[in-house]
Amino acid sequence: MPRDLPRDLPRHGRGRAAAMGVPSVTGRRELFGAARAELAGRQGVLLHGPAGIGKSALVASLVAASAERAQPSGTVLRCSPAAEEAGLPFVGLVDLFARVPESCLEALAPEPRAALRAALLHEREPADDRARLAVRVAVLDVLRALAAAGPVLLVVDGLQWLDEPTAEVLAFALRRVGGLDIRVLTAERVSDGERPERRRCCPPDTLELLVPPLDDDEVAELVRTVVGAESPPGVLRAIQDTAAGNPSYALELARTAPRDAASLGLARPLPVPRGLRDRLLDEARSLPPTARHTLLVASAAAHPTLTVLRAAGLPDAADALAEAERLGVATAGADGTVRFRHPLVRAAVYADAPEYGRRAAHTLLAGAVTEPVERARHLALAHPHEDETTARTLMSAAESARRDGTPEAAFELAALAALRTPADRTADRVERLLAAAEYACDGGLSQEAGQAAATVLAGSGSARQRTRARVILLRNAGQALEGTRDLIEEGLREAAGDPGSEAWLHYWAAVRGLLCGELTDAARHARRAARQAELAGDTDTGIGALATLARVRSLAGEAVAADAALEEALALAGGADTGPESWGLIRMGAILALDSDRVTEAGERVTRLLAEIGEYAGVEEVMATLVALTRIQVRAGHCREALRTAAHCSDILAESGVLAAPALYAAALAATAASSADEARSLAEQAVRASEADGDRLFLLRALAVLGQAELLAGDPPGAAAAVEVLGRVKRLGETMCAADPPLLHWYADLTEALVVLGETDAAGTVLHDARALLSADAPGSVLAALERAEGLREAALGRAKEGALHLRRAVDRLRRLPLPVELVRTLIALGTVERRSRRRSAARTVLHEALDIAKRIGAAPLAARAWDELARLDARDRAGETGTGEPELTPTEARIAELVGGGATNREVAAKLFISVKTVEGALSRVYRKLGVRSRTALAHAMAVAVLASGAAVTYSDDDQVTPVPPGVTMSQPGRIRPARAPDTRR
């Protein structure tokens, strides 16, 4: 271990990095790995970037990593120059050589030793050229001596402030250390877009590595890790925008940021700590008053330009900005746009001004800009007191912002309007606060919406206003409505006699019942909401209630009743082209069409809906539509497009800081179709946890179903066992909810398939029986095909391969008439597998090639892999010279049971090991005897014993590492699997 580096170096590094508290590789793992690799293969690495970007943290981590490589004989020489020391000669050399043993100096020749000791202040400073040369030679000799004893790491963190005499010595010495085990790690501060100026102080082969800004996710991780608390989404967004990827700035802002988003907004910019302002504005404060005033007005403007500044009464703005540009504070581009060196500099200029100065700047800008929202913002900031005229202006601007599709700005303007409303106009203040909460809901600002609505609920004496507040809180809950029963029931008691308020609350009770799986209650509340809405003349709520009733009827498997409720809602809305009132109905119609196998129609409806809502709908509306589109794209076989749609949905949710189960479900569903089982499983597990946290049984059903499908993709017993557990829960949950819609019956088929893989054919038969009991007379063809596929697999597992193939062909024929290529591929693979195991290789190859071609065309990567695996098994047999006749092949579960029984395990032991029933073991063992041509356990064991004695006998290994011989009638298909082989050719 190097002498000056303790073994217990903290994770956050030391020196400047520790002072900042920056985790060594937060957001920098890739860069850290690259720098570490380069430092091992070349003599120098130079990290460069602007102040606070994280160079020192990387240096500390790299020093720690290099120390591990260098121990026990390595040496680290290190210095961290500071700006105030740059003029002191040889101060950097003093730091670097502080821990060089005196014995190294004593070993030098007299003249170099004396010169070096003088440079290190042991004697007088070298005064002439010969003495300065002697210092250079002495440093070079010391480095050579240290390298002879072990690896040397020379570290200069802050190359820009290294004193010139030390820089000259290093430049001389490091040009002459080629071939020695000396590594040089340096960091230099440079302005954005500039190159390092001190590269001459590094070895010739030094690699320059730019340390880039962190992205928003990395900043969020950094703040969460170091500050130790979750920042509200609005506060975190402000930190990310102001820090612009600079980790040091982000941390300093986070430590002083408010703990609630309500403390920010148009009137409350993110505070900048005084110490940080002092560092950023040290030179800017020396500017003339005119220039400083120009910078303040520019920092207050939303979109500062020379035109705006001149309109604000600053005719000499260009000259003033020229002064600021000279100091690197701000500049005016060729197009007149004013740009500050960094967003934090702009925030610091604004925060550094006195309150009266900021008001004056906003007064000037209020008269200069013409855009209503920006003008209202400046007006509010120029008059931070109650004033009805200002409040009305702000509300007008808020309504304009909402119409323009910027609900976040609408919320902030309405919230400001409420603050500016005089105290004697309480009703107006509450109405404006309610409007602000509604706009916040539209924009996905859940915390802000909740705070505003809770304020109204706690303080308003109006039952109607309190009901509106409750509705906002219910909207704000998203999918997590399970815990809102008391909120709704209290509201219904308070709203008794007011049809409009009752309609709102009954509607939300219906939505809650739908999400929580209480379908009977949901239908009752939906009908009551529709009646009360009709009495109140509230068309919108009536439409929503009927749409919810349609969804409830659909989930219960009552397709005709669902269509009737939807048609009634559309008639009330005046048709499908009536704007926002019909959006939810269009989406609902698309889902009903999808569940009825009218996939093309569903896709057309949702595509038109997305084009219509554009950027003007709220987060909830857009997300729900994108989730629906993902479902449609997966079933239609547009797998790559589904991945992109799901990613877009996730991006929208990420911007709002919300982790929603529907978005996770969509991502998992797309992954099962186009990505991988592992990714789908991870996303589905997250969706399950999010749904459980919300109490949302509707999406919990879907998330569990996708998780089961992801487990089934593996096609092996462990995956099937996991799928049975998950899909069994889906079945039980559906039964509790009294659900019987087409997707649920598809999931019954998946459960049957998983049970078949495990050899649980009796249990699979029970599931199929239960599914058929739920079938309606108008069941869609895809449901019938899914159940036929499951029945075919079960028949084949029971040894009735011919009957199984017949069921599967019927399912294939049915699916060929439907636009459902993913389901067709699944069924073709199932048919090909049964045909292969039955030794009908030509038929198997035909259907498997068709499955592979379709899967590749539609981008269904996991299914393409399954088809390819099955074809590979066929090819392996052909290479072995096998014919197309013989006994059926063992299933994976039968093969595993044969291995264990052949090794001496009892049926009970086999059942315990494979997590199946003893009855299942008995049934599977009977099929194994028949397929392998033996009649007892003894015969099976004897066949395996003979195989062990036979020359070249193959063996395989079970999970507990016991060697299991492969009997003569069996060949290996894959590790841990056995299959019957054709009889040996005795004619040879």
Going by C-alpha positions, the residue among 371, 353, 331, 43 that lies closest to residue 184 is: 43
Q: How far apart are CA 22 and CA 11, in angstroms?
A: 9
Residue 912: the pLDDT is: 75
Backbone angle region of 839, left / alpha / beta, with phi > 0 → left and psi within -120 to 50 → alpha: left
Among all chains, which residue has been given the structure tokens 């439409």? 543
Single-letter amino acid, residue 451: Q
Burial (Cβ within 10 Å: 0-12, 13-18, ≥19) of residue 799:
middle
Spell out the alpha helix ranges (H) of 859-917: 861-879, 892-902, 907-914
Q: What are phi and psi of 182, to 5 degrees?
A: -125, 125
Question: Which parts of 287-428 are beta strand (E)?
Answer: 330-332, 338-340
Burial (Cβ within 10 Å: 0-12, 13-18, ≥19) of residue 501:
buried
User: What secondary structure letter does DSSP report for 213?
Assistant: P
Residue 972: the pLDDT is: 36
Instruction: Decide: 477 and 484 in contact? Cβ < 8 Å.
Output: yes
Instruction: Decide: 848 and 870 in contact? Cβ < 8 Å.
Output: yes
Using only C-alpha atoms, the chain has a radius of gyration, in whole angstroms, of 37
User: What secondary structure letter does DSSP report for 654?
Assistant: H
The length of the chain, given as a count of residues: 988
Sort strands 207-210 and 330-332 into parallel, antiparallel or unpaired: unpaired
Tokens read off for 206: 């030094």
> From the first residue on, what is the mean pLDDT of each consecutive set of 10 residues in the chain (988 residues)?
31 35 62 88 91 89 75 81 88 88 84 83 64 87 89 92 92 89 92 86 91 87 76 79 88 80 55 88 87 92 90 89 87 89 90 91 91 86 87 90 85 89 90 92 83 88 90 84 89 91 94 86 93 91 90 84 88 72 83 92 92 72 90 95 90 66 91 90 91 84 92 81 92 85 90 91 93 87 95 93 94 95 96 90 93 94 89 72 52 74 80 73 75 68 49 36 37 37 32
Residue 269: the pLDDT is: 67
For the full predicted model, state whether its pTM sits above 0.85. Answer: no
- Which residues does 313 contact at the CB level (< 8 Å), separation at least 6? 364, 368
Residue 434: the pLDDT is: 93
Q: How far apart are CA 158 and CA 191, in angstroms?
A: 14
User: What secondary structure letter does DSSP report for 44?
Assistant: E
Q: How far apart are CA 537 and CA 534, in angstroms?
A: 5
Instruction: Decide: 792 and 804 in contact? Cβ < 8 Å.
Output: yes
| Burial profile 381-409: b = 16 or more Cβ within 10 angstroms, e = fewer | bbbbeebeebbbbbbebbbbbbeebbbbb
Rounded (5°) CA angle 99-103-105: 80
Instruction: Decide: 28 and 58 in contact? Cβ < 8 Å.
Output: yes
* Residues facing 972 on adjacent strands: 978
Sort strands 330-332 and 338-340 into parallel, antiparallel or unpaired: antiparallel
CA distances from 634 to 645, 819, 823 (A): 10, 11, 10
Tokens read off for 949: 């004695």
Going by C-alpha positions, the residue among 515, 551, 545 that lies closest to residue 530 is: 545
HEC letters along 264-301: CECCECCCCCHHHHHHHCCCHHHCCHHHHHHHHHHHHC
- Which residues does 404 contact at the CB level (< 8 Å), separation at least 6? 373
- Which residues does 275 contact at the CB level (< 8 Å), separation at least 6? 252
Sort strands 970-972 and 338-340 into parallel, antiparallel or unpaired: unpaired
Q: How far apart are CA 13 and CA 22, in angstroms?
A: 8
Residue 658: the pLDDT is: 55
Q: How far apart are CA 745 and CA 369, in angstroms?
A: 60
Among all chains, which residue has been given the structure tokens 């309150």? 355
Spell out the alpha helix ranges (H) of 175-232: 216-227
CA distances from 936 to 797, 890, 954, 981 (A): 20, 17, 22, 19
CA atoms within 13 A on the CB side of 505: 27
